[in-house]
Every structure is written in structure tokens, then in C-alpha cells.
Amino acid sequence: MAGEIRSAAEATKIAATFLKEYYAFLRPVGASRDNGTWTVKIDIGLVTKEIAEVKVDAITGTVTDYSLP
């Protein structure tokens, strides 16, 4: 995705696209921006709540880091 990521919706879309390759169930929980990085939290648990955290660079739109439960 080209250009600066200005909204939580854009960052969430990038994070969800990244996680879709590995998980069938995705429910966005929230997103926040700190300096030049968006942190997106997505529930990936089908039965129980399991929160994955994906960091998206706000300038390039690339996934820079992630953590899984």
C-alpha cells in the first residue's frame, strides 16, 4: 500500500490481510498510533479470546513486527 497510513481503519486492513494467511477467524479489537507505528490488536481465537498484536509502519504501510498468543 503506497502512502502514509493515516487512519486506524487502514492500519487494521493491513494487519488483517497479513493475518488472513494463517487464521480463518479475525475480529479487530483496536488500533492506536504511537509516533510512526500503528499497533493493531485482532482477536484470532474462534472459541476463546486470543489477541494478536501487529505493528504497522505508518509511513510505508509494512508490517514491522507481530506477536501471537
Whether residue 3 lies inside any domain: the answer is: no
Give a yes or no: residue 40 inside a domain. Answer: yes
User: CATH number, domain at 26?
Assistant: 3.10.450.630
C-alpha cell at 51: 489477541
Which strand (E) or helix (H) includes residue 37? Answer: strand 37-43
pLDDT at res. 2: 54
Question: Could you give phi then psi for residue 45, rounded to 5 degrees?
Answer: -85, 130
Residue-number span of the structural domain to which 59 is assigned: 8-67
In a domain, 60, yes or no: yes
CB 40 within 8 A of CB 54: yes
Residue 33 belongs to some domain of the structure = yes
13 belongs to a structural domain: yes
- The domain total for the chain is 1
Structure confidence at residue 48 (pLDDT)? 94
pLDDT in tens, the chain (69 residues): 457 899 999 999 999 999 999 999 999 999 999 999 999 999 999 999 999 999 999 999 999 999 998
DSSP designation for 48:
S
Structural contact between residues 68 and 55, judged by C-beta atoms closer than 8 angstroms: no
